[in-house]
A and B are shown apart, each in its own frame.
Chain A
């Protein structure tokens, strides 16, 4: 079973800064199967990125995904106030434990 480990656990940044979130798999996975989600308190998760680098419908272009093999990255180029949330990576039936992006 593949384990996805996200880092850091918490990331403290200011609006306008660049955020880099990491997702590391315990074994190599196909880029086709890596997705990223955003979840705000009291809300359902929202798909951001699928196939490691494809933005979902309606997702702003400040969100981008990259990576291959065991190392994947979600980058938010310039943080907006609404981007502060918890982010999860996912591959098939496995989710990472999440990274909380908080306002510094």
Chain B
């Protein structure tokens, strides 16, 4: 059974940093692109970043580029999102998602999400 478990969310002051983690199980982690998708309270879904199987390609939402860094450790079956210079508008539930198909880039499995709140 595919499982994705996020951790690392919490309350942080604007301008602060946070590192999210996602631990995967039930599939060969190194075989799939992985992504982070977020959802602000009461709002829709917003793709944040994704990373290729070997980490050689990374793509970001324009508003987080230069502030967020996606990475992975295939030996640990883990995905990460380093978030720096956080803003109030980054407040959201952050989901780790597996990309089901490298060509189609859809998300076939999702974690339960971790809440990030950037507020003073």
User: CB-CB < 8 A to A47: which residues of B?
Assistant: 100, 106-109
Interface residues of chain A: helix, strand, loop or mixed (majority): mixed
Q: Please determine whether B59 and A90 come into contact, CB atoms closer than 8 angstroms.
A: no
User: CB-CB < 8 A to B61: which residues of A?
Assistant: 93
Of B9-17, B42-50, B65-73, which stretch is located at the interface?
B42-50
Interface magnitude class on chain A = 20 to 34
Q: Please determine whether B110 and A46 come into contact, CB atoms closer than 8 angstroms.
A: yes
User: How far is B61's CA from A37's CA once the two chains are assembled, in angstroms?
Assistant: 20
For A92, the closest partner residue in chain B by CB is: B105
User: How far is B44's CA from A39's CA once the two chains are assembled, in angstroms?
Assistant: 10
User: CB-CB < 8 A to B112: which residues of A?
Assistant: 44
Of A13-21, A76-84, A94-102, which stretch is located at the interface?
A94-102
Interface set, chain B 60-99, CB cutoff 8 A to A: 61, 95
Tell me the smallest distance from the CB of B16 to a CB of chain A, in Å.
26
User: How far is B100's CA from A57's CA once the two chains are assembled, in angstroms?
Assistant: 11
User: CB-CB < 8 A to A88: which residues of B?
Assistant: 44-45
Interface set, chain A 39-85, CB cutoff 8 A to B: 39, 44-47, 50-51, 56-57
Interface residues of B (CB under 8 A from A): 37, 44-47, 50, 59, 61, 95, 100-101, 103-113
